[in-house]
Chains A and B, each alone.
Chain A
Amino acid sequence: MARQLIFDDQQTFLQQLEQLLADGIAGEHLEVRTPYHLSEVEALLGQQPSKLPFFALGGALAGFGGGFLLAALTSLDWPIITGGKPIVAVPPFLLIGYLMTILIGSLASFGGFLLLARLPRIDALVEEQDFDAHFIITIADEVAPCTTPS
C-alpha cells in the first residue's frame, strides 16, 4: 500500500524529500503535493522543464497567421476600396494578427496546461482529500513497504 508522509513545515519536508531520494527511491515513485509552487521540488525530482512554451509558441504563430489571413481573405472575398487603402492593407491587418497572436497564444497555453497537468482529473473531483495546507510525499506501492525510512 502507498505510504504518505505529511509535513507542516516546508524545511522539514524538503529535507525529508532529499533524504528519500538519497536513500535511492527514484523520483517517479514519489508523488509530491505542496500548498504552493516550490522550484526546489522540481530541482530535487529532476523534472524536465515544462513543454508549455511550445503550446504558447504554436498558438501565437497560428493566431498571427490566422488573424492576418482572416482580415486579408475577408477583404479579398468582397473587394471594396474604403478610405483609399489597398484591399489587403498590411498595417491594419497586422494589428488583427497581433491581437490574435495574444488571444490564440493565451488560449493554446491554457489548453496545453490542461493537457500537461492532466486536468480535469475525475478521481480528485470525486474523492475529497485534504491536501492544501500540508506538504505531502506519497511513496508508490512497489517501494513503500521495504525502503521507506521509519
Chain B
Amino acid sequence: MQNSASAQQIEQDVLAAMSRPSRCYLACILLAGLLFLGGMALWGRQIALGMGVAGISHPVGWGVYITDFVFWVGIAHSGTLISAVLYIFRARFRTSFNRAAEAMTLFALMVAGLFPLIHLGRVWLAYFLFPYPNQRQLWVNFRSPLVWDVFAVSTYMLVSLVFFYIGLLPDLAIVARRRPGPVGKIYRLLTLGWVGSSQQWRHYAKLYFLLAAFATPLVASVHSIVSWDFAVSIVPGWHTTIFAPYFVAGAILSGTAMVITLVIPMRRLLRLEAYIPVTHIEAIAKILLLTSLIVSFAYIVEQGLAFYSGNLFEMEQFRFRALGDYRLLFWIMISCNSLLPMTLFVGRLRRNLAYLFVLSLLVNVGMWLERFVIVVTSLARDFDPYAWGNYTPSLTEIGITAGSFGLFFLLFLLFIKVLPVLSITELKER
C-alpha cells in the first residue's frame, strides 16, 4: 500500500463494520442469545435434577457432551492453521480470514471448555479435580491422556490468546485514534501505548514470527492429544494408531468449514466484499477439499486396518458402524465429509458463495456426526455382548448442544462489533 488516502479508506471501511448495528444483526444476536439461554436453562435443569436427564448411561458413558467437546476443539483448529501456518507460508489470502479465524478459535475453545464441566454432573464439586493436598488420596496421573489433554487445550488457549492479542495490537491503536471519548480511551489502554515506532515494529515482527512458529506444531499436536483420549484405551474402534492424523485432518476440515460458515455472511452483512474477494474464499475452499480428501482416505484406511487386522472385535465394530443401529448417521457422515466436498473439484462451485455456505453447514453437520459415531458406536458395542447397549441423546443433551452453538455465535457476533474483523495493518501492508 503506497499512499495514505487508500490507507484511510481501508480504516474507514473496516471500522464501519463496528458502527451502529443493523436490524439483521440484532435479530441474529437475539436468536443466538435465546439459544444460549435455552441451553443454560437446560444445564440448570440437569444440575437440579441430576444426570438422569441426560441420555448417557451404561455402557455409553460418553455421549453428546464428549462429542461436543471434541467437535468444538476441532473447530478451534483452523484458527491456528490460518493464522500461523499460512503466515509462515506467506499465503496472501490469509489476511481475509485470519482475524475471524483467530477469534473463532478462542470462542470455540471457550465453548469446548464448558463441556467437561457439563459432563461432570455435580459441577459444584469440580474443584475435586484440582491437585491440592487433600484427604481423598487423589493425585495427578501424568500417564493419563486426560491430563495431557488438560495441558494441550490450556496451552492452545493461552498461545491462541497471545497470538490474537498481538495481531490486534496495531489495529487497537487505530481504533483508539478513530474513536473519541471514553470508549477510545479503553482501546488506548489495550494498546499498552503502542506508537508504531521502528523500534517497536522490529520486535513486533520477530514476535509475530516466533508465535507463529510456536503455534504451528500445536496444529498437529492438540487434536492428536484429544484423539489419544480414545486411542490410548483398548476399546475396539478407538485403539488405533491412525487416530492422531485422522483427528487432525478432521479438525482442520471442520474448522475450515466453520470459517466459511462465518465469513460468507459476515462479508455480506458488513459489506466487506472488496476486502474478502471470491478468489480468497476459493483458496479456503481448496483447503476444505484437501482436508476432506485426507479424512476420506482415513475413513478407508480405518476400515482396511480393522479387516486386515483379523481382530474379530475390531471387524465387528466397523461392520456395526456401517451397517448397525447407527448406520444412518454413519452414511450421512460419509456423504457430508467425503462425497459432497468432492464437488469442489469443479471451479465454478468453489466460487459459488451460496453453494459454499450450504456445503460448509453440511460439513459441520458431518463432522459433528463423525465425533458422535466414533464416541458412541465403540462404547455401544465393545467386547462383551452382555454389555452392549444403544444410546439416544435426550432432549436436554440436544438442547445444551444447541445452546453451545448459540453461545459460540453470540460471542462471534459481539466480536464483530467490538474489534476490527480484518487486520487493517496487514491490509495496508498488502
Contacts and interface: CB of A to CB of B under 8 A. Distances in A.
Interface in B185-212: 188-189, 191-207, 210-211
Contact of B140 (A60, A74, A131): A74
Contacts of A37: 201-202, 204-205, 429
Contact of A133 (B2, B4, B140, B195): B4
For chain A, the bracket of interface size reads: 35 or more
B148 interface: yes
A139 interface: no
Contact of A110 (B177, B199, B207, B215): B207
B22 interface: no
A73 to B, nearest CB: 10
A107 B162 contact: yes
A106 B197 contact: no
Interface stretch (B26-34, B217-225, B287-295, B352-360): B217-225
Interface in A10-64: 10-11, 31-39, 41-42, 45, 47, 49-50, 52-53, 56, 60
Determine chain B's interface SS by DSSP, over half rule.
helix
Contacts of A41: 198, 201
A116 to B, nearest CB: 5
26 contacts: A10-B1, A34-B196, A36-B425, A36-B426, A38-B198, A41-B201, A52-B203, A52-B206, A60-B214, A77-B139, A80-B139, A89-B143, A99-B155, A102-B159, A106-B159, A106-B215, A110-B166, A110-B207, A117-B204, A120-B193, A121-B193, A122-B193, A125-B189, A125-B193, A132-B11, A134-B4
Interface of A: 8-11, 31-39, 41-42, 45, 47, 49-50, 52-53, 56, 60, 67, 71, 74-75, 77-78, 80, 82-83, 85, 89, 92-93, 95-96, 98-100, 102-103, 105-107, 109-110, 112-114, 116-125, 128-134
Contact of A8 (B4, B144, B196, B426): B4
B289 to A, nearest CB: 29
Given A38-B201, A105-B214, A110-B162, A92 B193 contact: no
